[in-house]
Amino acid sequence: MATNKVLGTGFLHYLESKKNLAGSACGVLGLGLTLTGAAGAYWPAVVAGLYGVGALAAPPERPEPPEPEGPTEQLNGVREQFGRLREYVAEVELPAPAEGRLGDLMELYAALLEPGWVADVLAGEPESVHALSRAIELDVPECVDTYNRTRWWTRLTPGGESPERHLERQLSLLSEEAERVTADLREAEARRQQTHTTYLEERGQHS
């Protein structure tokens, strides 16, 4: 049953296609030649041949462009990235200061992405969603990965700047970015509150 349904849908799609329309137009021309006697006894081959020429000459169908993701879908994608990040960082060993800083950062990410009104506010701020996605998908894994690699080389050839120092600085910068995102969301809610206050004041003046 499912196969028949798919075949039926494909046939209907072809009937509406540019190839079928162009082929049919050429086929009608072939019928016209048949009625005038120009096609002779070979009129079926002429009609079929003209149909094929028209179908082949028609431009190919353009695929439908994908629908853009809405805010909810984008945020769901960030949540999936965050779940993978949690699994990744759970398997790595970091020095205590960096581990504590990373833990605080992960808690902040989790609070922002928790389904509810906070996430609804976040979904309405595309730049904040982009910043959060970039940090979760790229920045945090890169911080942890480069720390582990650099620490391995440092054990072979001691000296130079401490990998721990770089890691802590990177996590500090990411924490500051996350705090700015949080502040922007708080400011958006403050503006919303102020807008409603202004609306009520203006409504009271005209009542």
Q: Which of 48, 54, 148, 139 has its CA nearest to residue 94?
A: 148
Whole-angstrom Cα distance, residue 134 to residue 138? 6
Average pLDDT for residues 75-96, to the nearest whole number?
A: 92
Neighbouring CB atoms inside 10 A of 151's CB total 16
**Alpha-helical runs (H) found in 37-70:** 43-57
The residues near 31 (Cβ < 8 Å, ≥ 6 apart) are: 47
| Between residues 114 and 31, the one the model is more confident about | 114
pLDDT at 100 over 60: yes
Which amino acid is it at 19?
K
pLDDT at 8 over 50: no
What is residue 152's predicted lDDT score, i.e. its pLDDT? 84
What is residue 155's predicted lDDT score, i.e. its pLDDT? 76
pLDDT grade for 173, boundaries at 50, 70 and 90? very high
What is residue 13's predicted lDDT score, i.e. its pLDDT? 53
Q: Which of 136, 117, 141 has its CA nearest to residue 177?
A: 136
Lowest mean pLDDT among 7-16, 97-106, 133-142, 151-160: 7-16
What is residue 47's predicted lDDT score, i.e. its pLDDT? 55
| Between residues 85 and 38, the one the model is more confident about | 85
